[in-house]
Structure 1
Amino acid sequence: MSFLAAQYHHRFTVDPIRAAPAVASLAALGIALAIGRYTARPRLAAGATAFLQMTLFTLLGVVLAYALAANSGRLWDARLAAADRAIGFNWPVLLAVLDKCPSAIWLFGLAYHSLTLQMIVVIVALSGRGKVDTLRTMVCAAILSGFVTILISGLTPAMGNLFDPSRYGHLWPSIAWLEQGLISGLRDGSLRVLDLTMLMGIVSFPSFHATLAAIFIWAFGAMPRVALPGRAWAILTIIATPVFGGHYGVDVIMGLILAPPAIIAARHLTRRRQPSRPMGSALPA
């Protein structure tokens, strides 16, 4: 509904051939869910449900972000950069220091680009261990916070914290640097046919990468054996987000702030209600 409203003035169409892999993935997850339910395998059903919900949200959420970007007004980059300077982020200095550490670049770069893998690991681990309540809460929190970040980004559009990688010896191009043409095409109207195999996140403020990693930190806490490495992995992702995602520092800070209320709201929404006890039954003799 949000997407339909957002694209009222700018009609998007979907390339049907390019949509086939997404449709096939959703169908496969739906089949896995049905098998899990009808064969009484609750862990399979829980995992398939989580993957199905996250896949649907990714498709709809990214397309909604595109529609909002096509309708957005003036860019907020100057204000976000000023906010970074006000709280002490000196990006030229930080980038120059990081460029001298190729091993750190690889470590942080792989951590940043592994967010989807982290989601897969968390869903498989929680469903495999029967932590269904935690899994439900995590998925709900991810969808709630993702929806909020997309809506906020529609009001505060930005190209991102751009830096030219050709000026450095080892730094990788950030996602924001690679997506400049995509955002420009959405804003000037030259891009209106969507390729569902090439959907890219374009949200700058707040950083959903940071929010999702923070939610994973909470979720890993339900699995003591993997909590330490899992949380360290997510923390590295958060630290890497400004450079490799092309985010401002305030993007990441706001993304982290969104995570706790999203988890609290999700716990309330996914809380299982116990059936009320019939009057007069199970009373002590």
Structure 2
Amino acid sequence: MFIHGEPNEGWQLYTLNWIVLSIMALLLGVGIAVSGFSVEIESGLLKTIAMAAVFTLVGCYLSSHRWGSRPALVLLSLAQLDMLFLFGTPLSYITASADLPLQDGGLAHLDQLLGLDWVAYHRFIMDRPALLPYAVFFYAMIGWLGLGVPLLLGLTKNHVRLHQFTMACILTVCVTALISALFPAIGTYQEYAVPAETQNFRATGYLVQLDRLPLVRDGSLRLLNVSQLGGIITFPSFHAAAAILAVWACWGVWWIRPLALITNAGMLLATPLVGGHYFVDVIAGSALAALGIAAAKSLGTRWAAAAQRREIVAPLGSGNVALIAGRKRESAL
């Protein structure tokens, strides 16, 4: 099965993404079973599953028609990213329940060693209220990752990069959840005793974490409602990772590069303020995204090469393979 008129590599990468998502789902199921969490069956959960199923079915149908190849790429990627959200957010809650010692002091110390002063940065922005709406706007641009990037790459027929991008997101989410469990932290506002909510500004990302993370760590929150879950990861910052992933994904479309750079640079700058992140969170998230991209490209190349070898060998049959092997031995003699 392949996208009509397109190289088969894109479809092979799409299949690989489903395999990795299946492994992620298995890990989530095991985590729920051993951690005491449960998942509430509610409208948001059912809606996400239904949307992913519809996107997949319609995308597979469209992929067999020349006129439908571009929307097919978009729908298939959206389905996988929907499932990534469905698996990734609960997974971060389960790993956070390990309740390891908080690392806020260590993260703040690393900022200090790098000569980065979060309090001064916060004061600089607060002294310029006109910048606050931009900070909130750019922080919310993480939504571009799950919708805008698939639309852009799918409609411009960048099928290989689209599926590499999806794989990079999957890998980055999984590793981010694991690292955050080993190095949990509440965030900068509590560490520096700075109010996260004022008359002119609310650190919305940080406030969600401040509300949920302590409940997960002390065992009070064990019912996972997908519609109400929010981000609870400080280190490494997935907002920072998302910015790097989006810039890389969009770089293949030359005319969108300036917009991608502006919006995602803005998200990087807004993350310490709105998300209550240390600067090392941003650095670590950016580095993790770069590693995720490299791993996705490497895995995709290896998987596609292996699939091509199987396609070449399979039609030969065992008798022809043996004949070819025998001829090679004769020529060697």
Q: State the TM-score, normalizing by the size of structure 1.
A: 0.90
Contact kept in structure 2, 1:220 and 1:231, CA below 8 Å: no
Q: Which residue of 1 aligns with 2:153?
A: 126
- Confirm or deny: 8 A CA contact 2:145 2:242 kept in the other structure: no
- Give the corresponding residue for 1:31: 57
Displacement of 1:20 after TM fit? 2.5
Relative to its length, the structure with more helix (as a share) is: 2
Which piece of structure 1 moves more, 121-130 or 25-34?
A: 25-34
Equivalent pair of 1:64/1:150 in contact (CA under 8 Å): yes
2-side partners of 1:31 and 1:9: how far apart?
33
**Paired residue for 2:95?**
68
Structural mapping, 1:142-161, within 5 Å: 142-161=169-188
Asked if 1 retains the 8 angstrom alpha-carbon contact of 2:38 and 2:224, the reply is yes
For the pair 1:117 / 2:139, whether they are aligned, the reply is: no
Structure 1 residue identity aligned to 2:59: L
Give the AA of the match of 2:76: T
- Structure 1 equivalent of residue 215 of structure 2: 185
Where in structure 2 are there 5+ consecutive unaligned residues? 1-25, 317-323, 325-333
Q: How far 1:62 moved relative to its partner?
A: 0.9
- Indicate if the aligned counterparts of 1:145 and 1:262 stay in contact, CA closer than 8 A: yes
Which of 157-166 and 232-241 deviates more? 157-166
Percent identical across equivalent pairs?
A: 27
Cα distance in 2 between the residues matched to 1:32 and 1:198: 28
- Report the more deviating stretch, 34-43 or 238-247: 34-43
Alignment match, 2:36: 11
Q: Specify every segment of 5 or more residues in structure 1 that has no aligned partner in the other structure, as ranges.
A: 280-285
Q: For residue 199 of structure 1, what is the amino acid of its counterpart?
A: L
Q: What SS is found at the alignment partner of 1:16?
A: coil
Partner of 1:196: 226
Tell me the CA shift for residue 55 of structure 1. 1.2
Stretch of structure 1 that moved more, 112-121 or 151-160: 112-121
- TM-score scaled by length of structure 2: 0.78
Select which of 70, 77, 82 maps to 1:50: 77
Whether contact under 8 Å (2:104, 2:187) holds in the other structure is: yes
Establish whether residue 164 from structure 1 lines up as the match of residue 189 from structure 2: no
CA distance in 1, matches of 2:179, 2:205: 19
Query: For residues 221 and 292 of structure 2, what CA distance do their matches in structure 1 show?
Result: 33
Deviations 1:58-95 (A, max 9, x none): 11111111111112311111111111122122222211
Structure 1 or 2, whichever has the larger Rg, is: 2
Compute the displacement of 1:169 (Å).
5.0
Count residues in correspondence: 279
